[in-house]
Amino acid sequence: MAIICMARQVAAMGDEISAEVAKLLGYKFITRKDIEARIVSLGFPKEKLHKYDEVKPGFFASLAKDRDEYLDYLQTAILEAASDGNCVLIGRGSSFVLNDLPNMISFRFVADHGTRLERLEKEFNFTEKQAQQRIDESDANRKGFHKSFFNADAEDPANYHLVINSGKMDIKSAAALIVSIVEANVTPDLEDAGRKKVGEMLLAQKLVNSLVFEHKININFLRALVIDKKIVLQGIADSSAVVEKALVLAQKAYPDYKIESAVSVVQDFKTYK
């Protein structure tokens, strides 16, 4: 059970290489559209998707509760896919969501500027100016998306196991290299540890979703962390009563776990709706 996470620049052949990797390994390829569809099916309004889905949120969008809800649904969709194992996920910050999984291997695809321009001009019949605008917009959005939701630099090579220049390698060569890395590094022990960890992460995310969407608990930036048989709630609330209610509901939902709070109580803390 290996989890492969892919990130890419526009016109760096990321989707094509990812599809080839999934084919060679017999893994499920989780595409951008698959993640989008799951986010909507979980309950996020389709008409609001364009504000957050791998774009840099505008000022007011970044302060709205919709932003936090989108992140909850996004993480749920990614964790669900990872819990099935043997999959290739592309984009949407999947490598940052799954960074703690010992059986996750991440790659990023780049290409030189001239190659990216040429590919866009050929694929979309763009002028050079149009291709440049597409590159500038995409690069800014992806950088802003990762900074806003994960406080991470998507362009930092230290965030990935390997960065591949698709201007120097063809699709099949890049895919074969990735397969060899996965097969050499994901051991049965790492698979077992990864399976356990992703199960804990999904349990924590489902608890958060239940508290926020079902019980309407008003704790901003609510997160849950599972440590063995303990669940720790994190976030910001404007009253101790809200925190206590969350603890009671969590304990009822998961009676076999010890529930603790690391939620900060800040009077008059508000977010935009």
| pLDDT, position 52 | 87
Residue 188's contacts (CB-CB under 8 Å, 6 or more residues apart) are none
Q: CA 104 from chain center: how many Å?
A: 13
Can you tell me the distance from the alpha carbon of 137 to that of 24, in angstroms, rounded to the nearest whole number? 33
Can you tell me the distance from the alpha carbon of 13 to that of 206, in angstroms, rounded to the nearest whole number? 34
- DSSP element (H, E) containing 88: strand 87-90
| pLDDT, position 272 | 47
pLDDT in tens, 149-169: 999 999 999 999 999 999 999
Percent of the chain residues past pLDDT 70, beyond the cut:
96
Q: Classify burial at 188, counting beta carbons within 10 Å of its beta carbon; exposed 0-12, middle 13-18, buried 19 or more.
A: exposed
| pLDDT, position 64 | 66
For the segment 35-59, the average pLDDT, to the nearest whole number, is: 86
Can you tell me the distance from the alpha carbon of 201 to that of 132, in angstroms, rounded to the nearest whole number? 40
Can you tell me the distance from the alpha carbon of 66 to that of 48, in angstroms, rounded to the nearest whole number? 8
Percent of the chain residues past pLDDT 90, beyond the cut:
86
Q: Say if pTM beats, i.e. exceeds, 0.95.
A: no
Q: Measuring CA to CA, which residue among 250, 268, 212, 271 is closest to residue 75?
A: 212
Contact 106, 5 (CB under 8 A): yes
Can you tell me the distance from the alpha carbon of 119 to that of 259, in angstroms, rounded to the nearest whole number? 53
